[in-house]
Amino acid sequence: MTHSFQHSQPIYTQIMEIFFQRICRGELGPGDKLPTVRETAVEVGVNRNTIQRSYMEMERRGVVETRRGQGTFVTTDIELLERLRQELARNQIFLFLENMRQLGYNPFEIMSMINSSMQAKEDTNS
Amino acid sequence: MTHSFQHSQPIYTQIMEIFFQRICRGELGPGDKLPTVRETAVEVGVNRNTIQRSYMEMERRGVVETRRGQGTFVTTDIELLERLRQELARNQIFLFLENMRQLGYNPFEIMSMINSSMQAKEDTNS
Amino acid sequence: MTHSFQHSQPIYTQIMEIFFQRICRGELGPGDKLPTVRETAVEVGVNRNTIQRSYMEMERRGVVETRRGQGTFVTTDIELLERLRQELARNQIFLFLENMRQLGYNPFEIMSMINSSMQAKEDTNS
Amino acid sequence: MTHSFQHSQPIYTQIMEIFFQRICRGELGPGDKLPTVRETAVEVGVNRNTIQRSYMEMERRGVVETRRGQGTFVTTDIELLERLRQELARNQIFLFLENMRQLGYNPFEIMSMINSSMQAKEDTNS
DNA sequence: GTGGTCTAGACCACC
DNA sequence: GTGGTCTAGACCACG
């Protein structure tokens, strides 16, 4: 998997956000080991230092912990992970509302469209 | 503006979607002239043939019309544009709900979070 | 001024501490402009990136603010600077007490030696 | 252990002070044998002549005695060692008070901060 | 092996 | 000019 990155944002933050997604979706659970800096560098096709910086920034936020000579691990602080999940959700909502607004939808229309969309889904499931 | 494209999807469809966004947001109104294939090719930094294909596909869908020797123009069929707008909105909603589901949010939670998010916005505006 | 750095600690933290000292001693006041990254790099004889990291870390702590295209400035948040001053003082005290302890002095002896040392100073001044 | 030395002071005096510290801390007791000049030279990574000069200066002060063919030994003159210990302590105190003064602390504040710092330590130990 | 630091040199965005 | 990012490649400390 070689990723394509946006020009508008630093690569290291984009990589960080990819990991945040993986963690909040449960692909990486509390205490799980992240791939090594070198592995991730090869995987996404960027320099080791850039990955290093992503990991550093994640550690600064407390989302991961690094153990010298062993690797980098998702924190076991579940409350912090829950706060992260809420933050990502808020971001999703913000971007979504902004996109819808640009398409000319007002809050009321948005709510009703989501409602019908979710009901359609439920009908499919039942 | 040089764009970065996903590997998972053909570039020409991605370019098409960019134009759809611009049209539905009103940056390009009914009857407006699109930039020439040549201009767009330079702008996004891809081959002219790829842009050509995007324009062809948009014409096939009736969203734009090409007039020999004059250029490519957004359709004046307002109903069709309205249907396009709704389609984009449905896509936005679908992707949004999927992302939220992957973050572990159920429909009820999503609705309440959107609600409070929109109220916060209103409070800011008032 | 080319500095000599300890091997036991990263250079970028040592540079940060030098600036903290300068700030807390008043050589650099609130709102003052720090030398540019490039100037400091030449001054202390290390790579630009290393200085960059020092400045970054200082900004992360809120001690300085960087303005793109303008430079790096000491924060005007005086309370934060006061907390920094207290932190540096606590570090000084800790290291001092540890050194004295290793020289075999107990707290009581330390206090009395400081007392007489300070009185000697006063006598000199008066 | 390779040391990093200050440019502002001769290396041989800095090496001497390292030995003074070791002696006053009890790492080297009265009558103990110092490592050979050759060993120390390798240990700190400087020229043998520089180490030689440190040993000479220490002998001049009476802190060590060299016996031809046997090596260099810490003096057994305990009173002299005690005076050395007090000298080092006075230096520590002087540097400490100067640093604190530069941070803007007056003697009274310094005393009270040390007091509370030492009490905190006692509480930890008890 | 792991992560952490540092260098040299490049290009970018902002003002 | 300023700070910010990225690369390539080196060396280190820890386990």
Query: Which tens digits make up the pLDDT trace of C94-115?
Result: 889 988 888 888 888 888 888 8
Chain A nearest-CA distance from B79, in A, is 15
* Cβ distance of A4 and B5 shorter than 8 Å: yes
Q: Is A36 left (phi over 0), alpha (psi -120 to 50) or beta?
A: beta
pLDDT greater at residue A30 or residue B7: A30
* pLDDT < 70 positions in chain D: 1-4, 6-8, 125-126
- pLDDT beyond 70 at C86: yes
As a whole number, mean pLDDT of residues B51-65 equals 95
Size of interface C-D (CB pairs under 8 A): 85
As a whole number, mean pLDDT of residues A18-41 equals 96
Judge if the beta carbon of A44 is closer than 7 A to nucleic acid strand E: no
- pLDDT beyond 70 at B4: no
**Residues D30, D78 contacting (CB under 8 angstroms):** yes
Q: Which residues of D touch C93 (CB under 8 A)?
A: 96, 100, 113-114, 117
Q: What is the pLDDT of residues A71-122, one digit of tens each?
A: 999 999 999 999 999 999 999 998 899 889 888 888 888 888 888 888 877 7
Judge if the beta carbon of C49 is closer than 7 A to nucleic acid strand F: yes
**CA nearest neighbour of D77 among D27, D26, D29:** D29
**CA nearest neighbour of D50 among D8, D13, D80:** D13
- pLDDT beyond 70 at B94: yes
Share of chain A above pLDDT 70, in %: 97
Query: Residue with CA nearest E3 C1'?
Result: A68
Q: Which residues of B touch A93 (CB under 8 A)?
A: 96, 100, 113-114, 117
Instruction: Tell me the pLDDT of chain B averaged across its residues.
Output: 88
* Cβ distance of C5 and D2 shorter than 8 Å: no
pLDDT given at position A89: 94
- pLDDT beyond 90 at B2: no
Half-sphere exposure of B67 (CA within 13 A, CB side): 9
pLDDT given at position B10: 87
Distance (Å, rounded) from C-alpha D59 to C-alpha D64?
Answer: 5
**Residues B31, B73 contacting (CB under 8 angstroms):** yes
**Which of C's residues 27-46 have CB atoms within 7 A of nucleic strand F?**
34, 36-39
Q: What is the pLDDT of residues D10-42, one digit of tens each?
A: 889 988 988 998 899 888 999 999 999 998 888
Judge if the beta carbon of C12 is closer than 7 A to nucleic acid strand E: yes
Task: Please indicate if any CB of chain A lies within 8 Å of the CB of B69.
Answer: no
As a whole number, mean pLDDT of residues B82-108 equals 91
Judge if the beta carbon of A40 is closer than 7 A to nucleic acid strand E: no
- pLDDT beyond 80 at A66: yes
pLDDT given at position A48: 97
* Coil/strand/helix, residue B47: coil
pLDDT given at position D45: 78
Closest-lying nucleotide for A47 based on CA to C1': F7
**CA nearest neighbour of C89 among D104, D120, D119, D95:** D104
Establish whether chain B is in contact with chain A, requiring a minimum of 3 CB pairs below 8 angstroms. yes
**CA nearest neighbour of B91 among A96, A109, A120, A124:** A96
Distance (Å, rounded) from C-alpha D94 to C-alpha C114?
Answer: 9
- pLDDT beyond 80 at A18: yes
Judge if the beta carbon of A9 is closer than 7 A to nucleic acid strand E: no
* Protein-contacted bases of chain E (C-beta within 7 A): 1-10, 13-15
Share of chain B above pLDDT 70, in %: 94
**CA nearest neighbour of D30 among D64, D66, D60:** D64
Chain A nearest-CA distance from B69, in A, is 32
Task: Please indicate if any CB of chain C lies within 8 Å of the CB of D90.
Answer: yes
As a whole number, mean pLDDT of residues B49-76 equals 94
* Range from B3-7, C15-19, C111-115 that averages highest in pLDDT: C15-19
Chain D nearest-CA distance from C78, in A, is 15
Chains in contact with B, counting 3 or more C-beta pairs less than 8 Å apart as contact:
A
- pLDDT beyond 90 at A43: yes
- pLDDT beyond 80 at B126: no
Chain C nearest-CA distance from D37, in A, is 23
Task: Please indicate if any CB of chain D lies within 8 Å of the CB of C6.
Answer: yes
Its pTM stands at 0.84
pLDDT given at position D4: 66
* Cβ distance of C105 and D89 shorter than 8 Å: yes
C112 CA – F9 C1', rounded, Å:
56
pLDDT given at position A14: 95
